[in-house]
């Protein structure tokens, strides 16, 4: 496999994209996917430097995932030169990434919605759990999505 890098992006980088990152990190370790590099970021700087949300961590740790080393950061224009795939957790963040990409004409990154038909899921937003709860549901969707993303990338 050629090396591939992906960046998961949500609004705050404390709930949804850190959960996707934790699941992907577990798959990378367990399956020794050393061709795959991952990170996560937020379109906002609301929680810059913060650890993943306690509720996301509790849901994830209960299923054996680790959030070690994670901390919120805002997406940068440099990310568009660094990552092969930038994956938005919902349409609102997808729109913001598309807007940012226009400011980076050299970008090599492909911009995607996390749940989409290309990877074999119905196109939909990852629900924002911050005010609504549903952290277990986010985790389950991240597990399904990350596994489908890995299968999709392995088939390239
Ligand atoms: P995330 O969730 O985008 O999944 O990290 C949110 C975190 C913070 C806020 C909204 C969503 N907020 O408004 O501060």
Atom of ligand 1 nearest to the CA of 18: 5
User: So where are the chain's domains?
Assistant: 4-154
Q: Please list the alpha-helical segments (H only) found in the chain.
A: 16-31, 54-62, 79-82, 91-102, 135-154
Query: 62: how many CB neighbours lie within 10 A of its CB?
Result: 11
Which position has the token pair 């590099």?
A: 37
Nearest CA to ligand 1 atom 3: 11
The overall pTM is greater than 0.95: yes
How far is 36 from 153, CA to CA, in rounded Å? 9
| pLDDT tens per residue across all 156 residues of the chain | 899 999 999 999 999 999 999 999 999 999 999 999 999 999 999 999 999 999 999 999 999 999 999 999 999 999 999 999 999 999 999 999 999 999 999 998 999 999 999 999 999 999 999 999 999 999 999 999 999 999 999 999
Q: What's the fold here for domain 4-154?
A: Rossmann fold (3.40.50)
**Complete DSSP assignment for 76-99:** -TTHHHH-SEEEESSHHHHHHHHH
Give me the sign of the Cα torsion angle 90, 21, 48, 127: positive
Question: Do the beta carbons of residue 50 and residue 17 sit within 8 Å?
Answer: no
Alpha carbon of residue 124 to chain centroid: 15
Question: Do the beta carbons of residue 42 and residue 13 sit within 8 Å?
Answer: yes
For ligand 1, say whether the CB of 93 is within 6 Å of any of its atoms: no
Supply the residues annotated as catalytic.
10, 16, 128
For ligand 1, say whether the CB of 67 is within 6 Å of any of its atoms: no
DSSP state of 30: H
For ligand 1, say whether the CB of 14 is within 6 Å of any of its atoms: yes
């Amino acid at each position: 496999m050629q090396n591939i890098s992906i960046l998961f992006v949500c609004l705050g980088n404390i709930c949804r994209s850190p959960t996707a990152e934790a699941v992907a990190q577990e798959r990378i370790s367990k399956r020794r996917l050393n061709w795959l590099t991952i990170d996560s970021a937020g379109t906002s700087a609301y929680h810059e430097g913060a650890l993943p949300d306690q509720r996301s961590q509790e849901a994830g740790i209960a299923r054996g995932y680790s959030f070690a080393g994670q901390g919120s950061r805002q997406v940068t224009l440099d990310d568009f030169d660094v990552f092969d795939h930038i994956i938005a957790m919902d349409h609102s963040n997808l729109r913001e990434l598309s807007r940012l990409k226009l400011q980076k004409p050299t970008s090599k990154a492909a911009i995607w919605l996390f749940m989409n038909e290309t990877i074999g899921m119905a196109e939909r937003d990852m629900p924002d759990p911050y005010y609504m709860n549903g952290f277990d549901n986010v985790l389950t969707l991240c597990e399904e999505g990350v596994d489908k993303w890995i299968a999709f990338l392995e088939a390239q």
